[in-house]
Amino acid sequence: MSHNPYIVQFPDGSRLYGVSNGSGVLLRPLFRSPEEAMSFPREALYNATEPSEASQTDVKVIIEPGEAWESENRASLKLMWLTGPQTSNERLAEESNSDHGLYGGIQWE
């Protein structure tokens, strides 16, 4: 399976880099350079444990800024961890739940 680096851009313009597994899954550990991301042992990428405070320090980020497939996500710059969805399906499910309730329908009051 091919692995490729992806860019995570933070609101202040800083960037970290992650690894996509080639099937559209963004692996969660982030690195200071694409070279560092790609040289990290693959098994360790899949077995990495989320830092306990990652979701408390996350912010909205842009994945692959400037590309036709750029998307919003969440990540922790401090802990170098992708906290948001790993796949486009997870992202769509999350957007559907937050916009329209549990079953994707409009919630009437």
**Which of 74, 71, 72, 70 has its CA nearest to residue 59?**
74
User: What DSSP designation does 27 have?
Assistant: P
Give the global pTM: 0.84
Q: Which residues make Cβ contacts (< 8 Å) with residue 98, sequence separation at least 6?
A: none
Contact 81, 50 (CB under 8 A): yes
Judge whether residue 109 has pLDDT over 70.
Answer: no
The 10s digit of each residue's pLDDT in 4-57 is 999 999 999 999 999 999 888 999 999 999 999 999 998 998 999 999 999 999
**Which of 69, 106, 68 has its CA nearest to residue 91?**
69
Mean pLDDT of 74-94: 92
Please give the C-alpha separations between residue 60 and each of 40, 42, 77, 92, in angstroms, as whole numbers: 25, 26, 10, 16
Residue 2, pLDDT score: 83
Whole-number percent of the chain with pLDDT over 70: 88
